[in-house]
Structure 1
Amino acid sequence: MRYFFHIGYSGTHYKGWQRHPYGVGVQQVIEASLEKILKQPVAIVGCGRTDAGVHASQFFFHLDVAQPWEFDMLFRLNKVLPPDIAVFDIIPVEGLPHARFDASKRSYDYFIHTYKDPFLHEASALYQVRNLNLDAMQAAAALLPLYTDYRNLCLTPAEQDSTICHITEARWFSDQQGDRLRFQITANRFLSRMIRILVGQLLKTGTGALSLQEFESYLSLEKAPKHLSPAYPQGLYLSKVTYPFLDMAPRPTFSPAFHQVADASWQTI
């Protein structure tokens, strides 16, 4: 029998979702917790990967068991897990849908604050830049759905089975004061560190270090960037994962990073 687990986590103290030989990943912590409860080895499959320090306000993994448990797994697992990993729902599914391969759409949010704030340093990325050209950043973001091959904006294109990504949405938001920014992007898939690389390039268009034409030349594969500098990991959240058979709203609402688009504190640029 297969279960889908709907979870969220703060990635600050982890080397990403996946197991690593050089640090603790979220997957390792959850598997160890499940093994304590089920008294047997456990292997789970996540909906994707996140880099070290990256968060997930919505994430799914699946687990196969021979027999359904007869206790409150949601309560027991949350009690065993550390405070920075939470399980919101446990969903029995028919057949064998795959948490990673059957996901049809993924959304990420990247949060920036331009002033030093001790309460945001682990939930948002600090870029102390003034007078960003937000219109140029939005114009550059609007180009993303027009292109599909993102080999120039991936750290390891040779290691990818494909560098084709179908981006359906990419836009910037700002708070009323203009000192907090939010970049939202949705696609069927993303490449290694692609979103953080994109944010880094989009910030360059905002400072004037990169023209809109040069940014588009990277997308059209006419030119490749000399250097790829990913944006800081703590600003990035995997915020929504959608399946043909499962479309759930993210659960967290308490963090400043989880404001919904309709929230009056965010305005479309």
Structure 2
Amino acid sequence: MARYFIEVSYKGARYAGFQVQDNVLTIQSEVEKALAVYFRQPVALSGSSRTDSGVHARQNFFQFDGDFAVPDRAMYNLNAILPGDIAINSIRKMRDDAHCRFDAIAREYEYTIYKMKDPFIADRAYFFPYTVDEGVLQEAASVIKEYTDFTSFSKRNTQVKTFNCKIIYSEWERRDDCLVYRVKANRFLRGMVRGLTGTMLRVGRGKMTIDDLRRVIEAKDCTGADFSVPGHGLLLVKVEYPEGYFEKV
């Protein structure tokens, strides 16, 4: 039995999320369906980073164990089976104890907003036609780096042992007519990036102060955060593993 990692990218607009769920279309269900067609047997996947409904990914990973050969042409053939909004970028044979979720050391996300109507980015950025103070947004992003407990930015009914996350960077960046929130951490909670983004936008619009943001974080109560920004503005950019991780087979 050999272990393999599958690197995928996808547009999440049509999907109810990353992880398989009953009676809905997900990224995992589509990839498992393609694997079953190609290998002519069921192939169970485990994922690295779960993304919510509508969220996109430039890089995410699945793993599976198989006692069958995975030929070099498998990636090409699987991509021919998969729908156009999901792509397999690599299939790597890994060590038997490798784990795509628990071995990851960081994840990077971006959330993009735009002010002027633009049909060419409408499916991957949030139309936000309001004036925001970019300096205050940047200050809010810096405040987030001061904290490790993000209970206030985790949606309810999530089963985690700790709400602590180590933020590596948190910043806003202007790209042409868009504003992009960039954040990297060792781990993220369910809904966390959208909660951070929505709450900071309230600060940027003057609906909250920086001190209000601190109070929301320190309250450890998700009712104070704003999770209302839609999923289609969020992109999982990268799942990071230790240096040389993929060379140790």
| TM-score, normalising length: structure 1 | 0.86
1:69 positional shift = 2.5
Please give the residue correspondences for 1:2-81 in structure 2 after superposition, counting only pairs within 5 Å: 2-70=3-71, 72-81=73-82
- Describe the SS at the equivalent of 1:159: coil
Contact preservation (8 Å) 1:62, 1:98: yes
Return 5+ residue gaps in structure 2 as ranges.
none
Distance change >3 Å, CA 232–CA 104, structure 1 → 2: same
- Does residue 107 (structure 1) correspond to residue 108 (structure 2)? The answer is yes
Contact preservation (8 Å) 1:77, 1:87: yes
Contact preservation (8 Å) 1:193, 1:230: no
1:67 positional shift = 3.3
RMSD (Å) for aligned C-alpha atoms: 1.8
Listed one character per residue, the Cα deviations across residues 161-194 of structure 1 (whole Å, up to 9, x for unaligned) are: 2111111110000134xx3111100011111111
Contact preservation (8 Å) 1:4, 1:62: yes
Please give the residue correspondences for 1:52-201 in structure 2 after superposition, counting only pairs within 5 Å: 52-70=53-71, 72-130=73-131, 132-156=132-156, 159-176=159-176, 179-201=177-199
Return 5+ residue gaps in structure 1 as ranges.
249-269
- Describe the SS at the equivalent of 2:69: coil
Contact preservation (8 Å) 1:7, 1:89: yes
1:247 positional shift = 7.2
Aligned structure 1 segments of 4 or more residues deviating by more than 4 angstroms: 222-225, 245-248
Contact preservation (8 Å) 2:150, 2:163: yes
Identity within the alignment, %: 32
Match of 1:204 in 2: 202
Listed one character per residue, the Cα deviations across residues 68-103 of structure 1 (whole Å, up to 9, x for unaligned) are: 324511111111001000011111112321111111
Aligned residues: 245
> Separation in 2 of the partners of 1:175 and 1:243?
27
> Separation in 1 of the partners of 2:204 and 2:225?
17
Contact preservation (8 Å) 2:195, 2:225: no
Distance change >3 Å, CA 22–CA 129, structure 1 → 2: farther
> Separation in 1 of the partners of 2:192 and 2:55?
13
Q: Which amino acid aligns with 1:76?
A: N
> Separation in 1 of the partners of 2:120 and 2:104?
33
Q: Which amino acid aligns with 1:200?
A: G
Distance change >3 Å, CA 79–CA 196, structure 1 → 2: same
Q: Which amino acid aligns with 2:150?
A: Y
Q: Which amino acid aligns with 2:70?
A: W
- Describe the SS at the equivalent of 1:30: helix
Q: Which amino acid aligns with 1:112?
A: I
